[in-house]
Amino acid sequence: MAKKSSSGSKIGHYAFIAGVLLAFIVGLFPNAIGATNVQMGVIIVLVLLGLIVGFLNITGGETTQFLVATIALMGGGAALGGIKVIPLVGDLIYNVLLYIAVFVAPAALVVALKTIYSLAER
């Protein structure tokens, strides 16, 4: 992410930090959010934070790198389903990757749509 001084980018920066921290905390401590309605609330917060990041943080020059990183993260996360067999840490690693994917997917959608729109304008 490029460093910018506007207040919108600071909001996007804080949204990114909050999203990553929330994904790690919820992924590492899944029993803390055992109730289904709490899980749904966490997912909604992660999606909203991802949308904020997509709208405010990613500029035109960062689009390709961001989308490639997103594809690698989501593809790698999906491929790591077998990691759950590792005792003690397998489920935790999988959960963290799952929540990070929930956070990053909306940002990737926004960036991809912005890119398609800018290509269509040409």
The tens digit of pLDDT for each residue in 48-106 reads 999 999 999 888 888 999 999 999 888 877 777 777 788 888 888 888 888 999 999 99
Residue with the bigger pLDDT between 78 and 29: it is 29
Q: Tell me, yes or no, whether 1 lies in a domain.
A: no
- Contact between residue 109 and residue 47 where contact means Cβ atoms under 8 Å apart: no
Q: Where are the beta strands (DSSP E) in 19-78?
A: none
Cβ neighbourhood burial of 66 (10 Å; 0-12, 13-18, 19+): buried
- Average pLDDT over the chain, rounded to an integer: 86
Q: Where are the alpha helices (DSSP H) in the chain?
A: 7-28, 36-56, 63-79, 90-121
- For the chain, first and last CA: distance in Å? 25
Per-residue pLDDT for 38 more than 90? no
pLDDT at 6: 62
Residues 1-21, mean pLDDT to the nearest whole number: 77
- Asked whether residue 21 is assigned to any structural domain, the reply reads yes
pTM of the model: 0.84
Average pLDDT (38-54) is 93
How many distinct structural domains can be found in the chain?
1
